[in-house]
Chain A
Amino acid sequence: MPHNTDAVGKRYDPVVYAVGREKVKEYALAVGETNPLHLDVAAARAAGHADVVAPPMFAVVYQSPSVMPALFDPEVGIDFAMLVHSAQEFRWERLVVAGEELTTATTVAAISEKGGMGFFDFEVETVDAAGKPVATGIWKMIVRGEA
């Protein structure tokens, strides 16, 4: 199935995510974190942080609300029944703590086709309240071809 590449370069409106203390703890517990920086406000403060520290992979949580609309965009044209998350990359500039507001924007970085499969790469950039970079994610999806 040919994939339309017109959406390459499309940038979606930024999405604001407010990092909550209980959300950070919930996420940290779900992935098995044991470091008290993620779970215990007092321990985080004793280490010089304003509040509990989000594990680096919490980037999934604050970037997802920006990525999802791009995945569902009819102009991108992903067939969800055939969707596979094939690869993921994150680059972190600094730690995030509860209480921050982060702003994330997604761009369609690449769409290509090979062997009947579609390859969709999304570049996702998160900045803090001062506009300084916090994290970059590259979300790579494959849409399997129909038999």
Chain B
Amino acid sequence: MAFAFEPGAELPELKTTPDRYLTVRYAGASGDFNPIHIDEEFARSVGLPGRILHGLWSMAQVARAATDAAGDPAALRSLSVQFRGMGVLEQEVVVTAKVKAVEDGVARIAGEARQGDTRIVRNAVAEVSVPER
């Protein structure tokens, strides 16, 4: 059944666990080969706990939560996010989002992506076109 974009409605939670080679595949797919994402030794040498997720991959999970709920990639009109905590491999990412308002056929959605207690994407705001009724 299609998700009803109504104020206060929570989007279906999106859960995904990046496997240990995810950042390698995303580096190839996106063209972002920054070694902090693909080289364990390098990441540690610059003070990171290990290889970290690409922020834009995490943002794509928020986008996917919105387009999956809408059932249509064209429905996503805008998305803005902030990156804070570092995302890590082999730990579940959970995207939660809520409809804040619906006006003139556009739903305004606020959300975030978390890994455990760490918010890796925060203050996500999406605008999604919804069918007029």
Residues on A lying within 8 angstroms of B by beta carbon are: 23, 26-27, 29-33, 35, 37-38, 53, 55-57, 60-61, 64-65, 81, 84-92, 94-95, 138
Contacts and interface: CB of A to CB of B under 8 A. Distances in A.
Chain B residues touching A, majority SS = helix
Nearest to B23: A30
Nearest to B67: A56
B28 interface: yes
A37 B73 contact: yes
Given A53-B73, A55-B73, A88-B56, A32 B83 contact: no
B44 interface: no
Contact of B60 (A57, A84, A95): A57
B26 A56 contact: no
Interface of B: 16, 22, 25-26, 28-32, 46, 55-57, 59-61, 63-64, 67-68, 73-74, 76-83
A88 B82 CA distance: 7
Given A64-B31, A95-B73, A86 B82 contact: yes
A57 B63 contact: yes
